[in-house]
Amino acid sequence: MKKLDYIIVGQGIAGSLLAYKLLKADKKIIVLNDESLPTSSQVAGGIFNPITGKNLDKTWLADKIFPYLKDFYLSLEKEFNATFYHETNLYRPFANEEQQKHFMRLTDEYDLGNYIKIISANNTEYSAITNTLGGLHTSFAGWVNVPKMIENFRIHFRNREVYQAEKFVHEALEVSENEVIYKDIEAKRIIFCEGYYASQNPFFNWIPFNPAKGETFLADVEGYNIAEIVNQGSWIIPLGNGKCRIGSTYVWDKLDWETTESGRALISSKIDKFLLPSYKITNQEAGIRPTTKDRRPFMGNHPLHNNVYVFNGLGTKGVSLAPFFAEEMLCFLEKNKVLMSESNIKRFYSLYSL
């Protein structure tokens, strides 16, 4: 019987970062991950952006999480000797005069000077897109190559012999007051980081997830050389040498991992409104985001089992939230730090019933 501190189920963004931080804290862990399942982490665009939406809303906790995520990812790249963090910033060309006036008014009303600046019309840097009205340039934005980062974490865990590729069978878990036992593993605690698959977890299937399917495609765009992410209803992430990832869709009523012609057509219809060069689609991908109804993470312990935990629900802002909240979860587990009420699953305890 292996005696450990933690069992972590799932190796997406949440599971990877939390396992990494627990290892840094000298905890004995095992990561159990079913590699046969499709995951949102493997197809994620990985965009981080402090200012989002039609009303230029500042991302929740932006002033805290964005400096933190930059330091974390740069340090991680150095340790792994890999590159997956890309601070490209983001450009939003005005779609029409009404939107231009709306965004200009908001930039005057809100204190967004640290994040937003106005770009003049027909700037030659954006010759590959329609830019007759100018737009908004957002600093501290960019993207993380999530599949590459996840693979580097997997190598890291394997090298330390703390990773097992296997399907977790919930019915095989034995929970007592002071420990959990799973097959030949005895641990003090277990943490479920299963993403969308938490809906099938008998311990946490009562939590109000609001999963959303998303599709993106990869394309070769002729002569494309814009360095920033461009976003006008749909977004374009530059991957270099004219290769781009373009997305994405949001579907809540048909949750599967299959790509669709309708998804491709919808993205193309939005991109064609402002992308000028021709492009060739080379691949299409689909995933299910573990989004939540209140757009806040799910963190904390089960109402009846103090050694059964969840760290999930990072959703569309996973790469932004994960570094900061993995540290919050670590401090909660090891230092008894109180979780933020907005992220603590205690806010949904009333939904649980035996």
Kindly report, residue by residue over 192-202, the tens digit of the pLDDT: 999 999 989 99
Q: Tell which residue, 288, 285, 317, 304, has the closest CA to residue 345.
A: 304
349/217 Cα distance (integer angstroms): 39
Q: What percent of the chain has pLDDT over 90?
A: 92
Mean residue pLDDT of the chain comes to 95
Whether pLDDT at 315 is above 90: no
| pLDDT value, residue 354 | 63
Span 123-144, pLDDT tens digits: 999 999 999 999 999 999 999 9
According to DSSP, the β-strands at 180-182 and 185-192 are antiparallel
Span 45-66, pLDDT tens digits: 999 999 998 999 999 999 999 9
Mean pLDDT calculated for residue range 295-310 = 96
Q: 215-249 burial, b for 16+ CB within 10 Å, e for fewer? A: bbbbbbbeebebebbbbbebbbbbbeebebbbbbb
Q: Tell which residue, 229, 233, 243, has the closest CA to residue 272.
A: 233
Structure tokens at 114: 């640290």
Report the run of H or E that residue 190 belongs to, with start and end: strand 185-192
Q: Within 10 A of 134 (CB to CB), how many other CB atoms are there? A: 19
Mean pLDDT calculated for residue range 233-255 = 94
Strand-pair partners of 8: 31, 191
- DSSP 8-class letter at 50: S
Dihedral sign of CA atoms 300, 303, 309, 311 in order: negative
Q: Within 10 A of 310 (CB to CB), how many other CB atoms are there? A: 25
| pLDDT value, residue 316 | 86
| pLDDT value, residue 86 | 97
Q: 22-38 burial, b for 16+ CB within 10 Å, e for fewer? A: bbeeebebbbbbeeeee
Most confident of 29-43, 70-84, 106-120: 70-84
279/266 Cα distance (integer angstroms): 15
Q: Of 13-27, 54-68, 101-115, which gets the smallest average pLDDT?
A: 101-115
| pLDDT value, residue 107 | 86
What 3-state DSSP class applies to 332? Answer: helix
Mean pLDDT calculated for residue range 200-225 = 95
Q: Within 10 A of 205 (CB to CB), how many other CB atoms are there? A: 11
Indicate the domain borders of the chain: 2-43+147-207+296-351, 90-139+212-289
| pLDDT value, residue 320 | 96
pLDDT band at 74 (very low <50, low <70, confident <90, very high): very high
Dihedral sign of CA atoms 170, 19, 25, 297 in order: negative
Q: Within 10 A of 125 (CB to CB), how many other CB atoms are there? A: 13
According to DSSP, the β-strands at 116-119 and 51-52 are unpaired
Report the run of H or E that residue 223 belongs to, with start and end: none
What CATH class does 2-43+147-207+296-351 carry?
alpha beta
Compute φ and ψ for 72, nearest 5 degrees: -65, -50
Q: Tell which residue, 139, 204, 251, has the closest CA to residue 349.
A: 204
| pLDDT value, residue 110 | 84
Report H helices in 81-208: 97-109, 146-159
Cβ-Cβ contacts under 8 Å for 154 (sequence gap 6 or more): 11, 16, 33, 163
Q: Within 10 A of 254 (CB to CB), how many other CB atoms are there? A: 8
CATH number of 90-139+212-289: 3.30.9.10
